[in-house]
A and B are shown apart, each in its own frame.
Chain A
Amino acid sequence: MADLIARSPCMGLLPLEQGGVSVTELDPGPMTLVAPYKGQAAALSKAMKVAHGVGFPAANTTETGKGVEAAWFGRDQALLIGAVPDAALADHAALSDQGDAWAVVRVAGEGAEDVLARLIPVDLRDSAFPPGRSIRTQIGHMAGAVTRLPDGAVRLMVFRSMAGTLVHDLDRAMTHCAARGTG
C-alpha cells in the first residue's frame, strides 16, 4: 500500500516574516461545525459545557477551555475546535466535520494590526478587538473568520482552497507596510 503523506493547507507557503510581523500555520486538530436545532440553543450550550467545558459562545466571541475552544462562526453556528464532539451534542444540534476544510494561520508581532487593516474592514486594534473576540468577516475578497488569541496574536481562517490567496494577500500587505515603515 502506498505510504500517504498528510499535507497541511499551507504546506510550502508558510512561515513568512517581514517588518516584525510573522505568519505561521496553526494545526487546529479536529474541527466541527455545531448548529443548534430550533429552540435547542440553551440545551446545546448546557450539553457542551458538560462534555467539553465550554458553552455555546455569544455572537462575536469565543470560549476557551482546556485544549478545546468554541468559536462563534456565524448566525446560530459555532466551531468546536480541538476536540471530537461528544455524542450527546447530536441531540440538540447538527454537527458537521470541518477538520481539514480550513486554512488556519496565526499573525503575530508589532504592526500585525496595520497589516490586517489592509485586508479586513473591521477595527482589529486591541481596544476594539481584545482576546476572546471572534468574528466572521471578509479577508481580502474571501469569507473568513478572525479571532484574537489569548496571547494577543490574531488567528485567521479561510477555506482550505484559498490558502494560497491568503498567504499571497498577507505577503503583499506585509511588504507594503514594511515599505512604509509602519510594520
Chain B
Amino acid sequence: MRIRCPICGDRDLREFTYKGDAVALNRPGPEAAAQAWDDYLHLRRNPAGATRELWYHGGGCGAWIVVTRDTVTHEILGAVLAEEAEA
C-alpha cells in the first residue's frame, strides 16, 4: 500500500502511522452539550467504502494528512494536509 503525501509524493506505507477517523478534526466547542462530546469521543461509522482517516507521516516530512481510503479495496483515493482539509 502506498500513500501520496501532499509534500513528499508517493511513499511506502511503512513511513506512516494510522491515527483513526478524521472525525478528530471536528472537535466540539467548549460549550457543546455532553451528547456532542459523547458522540465525538465514542461514535464512529464503519462504512464499507470510502472513509476519511488521519495519518501521520512520521517517517517523512512529519505532516498530519487526511487520507481518503476505500475500506473494501484498500484503494487510496486521495490525501490532503490536515491543516487544509475540510473539517
Show the binding face of A for B, using Cβ within 8 Å: 59-60, 74-75, 77, 121-122, 135-138, 143
Chain A residues, Cβ within 8 Å of B59: 136-138, 143
Q: Which of B7, B12, B14, B61 has the most CB of A within 10 A?
A: B61
In the docked arrangement, what's the CA distance between A128 and B25, Å? Answer: 35
Within 8 A of A (CB), among B13-37: 14-15
Docked Cα-Cα span, A133 to B62, in Å, equals 18
Q: How many A-B residue pairs have CB under 8 A?
A: 37
Q: Select one of A59, A121, A135, A143 contacting B58, CB under 8 A.
A: A143
Binding site for A on B (CB under 8 A): 7-9, 11-12, 14-15, 58-63
What are 14 A-B contacts with C-beta separation under 8 Å? A59-B7, A60-B8, A60-B9, A74-B60, A74-B62, A75-B7, A136-B8, A136-B62, A137-B8, A137-B11, A137-B15, A137-B60, A138-B14, A143-B58
Q: What residues of chain A lie closer than 8 Å to B60, measured between beta carbons?
A: 74, 135-137
Task: Specify the main secondary structure of chain B where it touches its partner.
Answer: loop
Minimum C-beta distance from B79 to chain A (A): 14
A138 to B59 CA separation, bound complex (whole angstroms): 6
The answer for the CA separation of A166 and B12 in the assembled complex, in Å, is 20
In the complex formed, the residue of B with least CB distance to A77 is B62
- Interface contact A121-B11, CB-CB below 8 Å: yes
Apart from A60-B8, A74-B60, A74-B62, 18 more pairs, CB < 8 Å:
A59-B7, A59-B8, A59-B61, A60-B9, A74-B61, A75-B7, A75-B61, A77-B62, A121-B11, A121-B15, A122-B11, A122-B12, A136-B59, A137-B8, A137-B11, A137-B59, A137-B60, A138-B59
Question: Known interface pairs A59-B7, A75-B7. Does A136 touch B12 (Cβ–Cβ under 8 Å)?
Answer: no
- Bound-complex Cα distance A77 to B63 (A): 12
